[in-house]
Amino acid sequence: MRRLVIIGAALAGQRAAQAARRAGFDGELVVVGEERRHPYTRPPLSKQLLAGEHTVERCDLPWAKLEVAWRLGVPAARLDRDSKRVVLADGDEVPYDRLIVATGSRARQWPGGGGELDGVHTLRTLDDSLALRTALERGGHLVVLGAGFIGCEVAATARGLGLEVTVVEIAEHPLLPLGAEVGTHLAKIHRERGVDLRLQTGVASVIGNERVEAVELTDGTVVQTDVLLAALGATPNTEWLADSGLSLDPGVVCDVTLTAADDPDVLVAGDVASHPHPLAGGRHVRIEHWTSASEHGQLAGANALLEPDERSPYTTAPYFWSDQYEVKVQSIGFTSDAEQLEVLEASTGRERFIAAGARDGRLVAAVAVNAPRRLGWYRSQVADGQSIESVRELIRADESALGVADGMVGA
Ligand SMILES: Cc1cc2nc3c(=O)[nH]c(=O)nc-3n(C[C@H](O)[C@H](O)[C@H](O)COP(=O)(O)OP(=O)(O)OC[C@H]3O[C@@H](n4cnc5c(N)ncnc54)[C@H](O)[C@@H]3O)c2cc1C
């Protein structure tokens, strides 16, 4: 294999390039990226960069020492697997022996009218973050649509910058996949910090004339605003693969080694990869977390140098973190697979706690709120598929546990 091409110049793509070089690949390595920027990391975009605490340079991923031919500022437009070429939007063709697809995902836009008004933002790229920061620096009122991770983080950052913040969420609590205990706790914290959190409420319309002026909610109230952030989740970037013959679901379907289901010379990494996971009972999952994108990239970069039957599988439990105010939320495993997430241990006053969940009696996920040291223990229990009953027993006997949650453990 002489020519490895990576499409997507962000976290998964950078990690794949790094891993291929570390594994001794000395052939030609081309990385194509739609953004003009070299690879950077996204988590600060809703936190430290948005708050003005980090510089743009501090978001850089290590790319400068990588021996890579960068093709930045031009997206891949088409994949021709018969001739093993990627056609770029400027008409250039990039031949490959092996290809890694790492095109990630993009922010979902507000689907109704008004999305084009000035003052309406989404947040995915560094430039999105800088534009939102400029808007927030003017002060005033921010309305956030969606109380997922990005919506909640931006709400927290904007409160720190002194803005009035309203968050509108259709669900019963923020951070829906993390269960009611964690979501309700976070709702309380946001409200204590002055966020006007409107739950079980949707947006009927976005009002404005050139600039956004207000949003009308489904309960009939109208909230005046200067800035609107649509934080409505993400969509995988696969349009360029539409006629490639690769299976899309909507991520790129691959096997457990991140090899595309339809082509052993194509590997997939990061948010765009749809792969079976043993901890999800072999179901195909698409994980949109920083750590998984990094691990995927490393694995795909190494696996791309090997023949299909020599490639290693991706079996690590997904890990995610979110920082809001002084609260650190971390999760391990597949929270949405849990039949129920319940608090297994908590500090007095519940400032710190762990909620965990099982399926068919086996631990599948744990969420830590301000309890990073405890999460490591749960990570190994999830990886081992420990029974929830043994977990309860072990916690009871464990002096480093936060304390047994009333009426929960052994109930
Ligand atoms: C604001 C924000 C905050 C986050 N905070 C956290 C956090 O605290 N914790 C956490 O675990 N995760 C967090 N995440 C998620 C994490 O950043 C993503 O999971 C990770 O960025 C995925 O990396 P990726 O390389 O797969 O995809 P992406 O980061 O989406 O990168 C894909 C790249 O491919 C490019 N591309 C797309 N289409 C093409 C094409 N056709 N041709 C060429 N290039 C293309 C894109 O422009 C992009 O640069 C956050 C994400 C955002 C947006």
| pLDDT reported for residue 85 | 98
The CA R_g of the chain, rounded to the nearest whole Å, is: 22
Ligand 1 centroid from CA 154, angstroms: 17
Amino acid letter, residue 239:
E
pTM above 0.95, yes or no: yes
Q: Is the CB of residue 169 below 6 angstroms from any atom belonging to ligand 1?
A: no
The parts of the chain modelled with pLDDT lower than 70 are 405-411
CB contact at 8 A, 17 and 98: no
| pLDDT reported for residue 406 | 54
48, burial (CB in 10 Å: exposed 0-12, middle 13-18, buried 19+) = middle
Spatial distance between the Cα atoms of 137 and 158, rounded to a whole number of angstroms:
9
197: which 2 tokens? 């959190």
Residue 271 CA from chain centroid, whole number: 7
Please work out, in degrees rounded to the nearest 5, the angle formed at the alpha carbon of residue 247 by the alpha carbons of 6 and 28: 15
Spatial distance between the Cα atoms of 352 and 356, rounded to a whole number of angstroms:
13
| pLDDT reported for residue 240 | 98
Nearest alpha-carbon partner for 128 in 146, 102, 143, 108: 108
CB contact at 8 A, 85 and 93: yes
| pLDDT reported for residue 387 | 95
Q: Atom 52, ligand 1: which residue's CA is nearest?
A: 42
CB contact at 8 A, 192 and 180: no
Q: Is the CB of residue 35 below 6 angstroms from any atom belonging to ligand 1?
A: yes
Spatial distance between the Cα atoms of 380 and 75, rounded to a whole number of angstroms:
40
44: which 2 tokens? 């600060």
Separation in Å, CA 300 to CA 71, 132, 230, 270, 308? 20, 33, 32, 10, 11
| pLDDT reported for residue 348 | 87
| pLDDT reported for residue 63 | 97
Q: Is the CB of residue 295 below 6 angstroms from any atom belonging to ligand 1?
A: no
Number of residues assigned to the chain? 411
Ligand 1 centroid from CA 64, angstroms: 19
Q: Atom 18, ligand 1: which residue's CA is nearest?
A: 290
Spatial distance between the Cα atoms of 346 and 108, rounded to a whole number of angstroms:
36
| pLDDT reported for residue 409 | 38
Please work out, in degrees rounded to the nearest 5, the angle formed at the alpha carbon of residue 81 by the alpha carbons of 80 and 85: 55
Ligand 1 centroid from CA 11, angstroms: 7
Q: Is the CB of residue 12 below 6 angstroms from any atom belonging to ligand 1?
A: yes
Q: Is the CB of residue 7 below 6 angstroms from any atom belonging to ligand 1?
A: yes
Q: Is the CB of residue 102 below 6 angstroms from any atom belonging to ligand 1?
A: yes
| pLDDT reported for residue 269 | 98
Alpha-carbon dihedral sign for residues 240, 34, 81, 12: negative
Please give the number of the atom of ligand 1 that sits closest to the Cα of 46.
Answer: 1
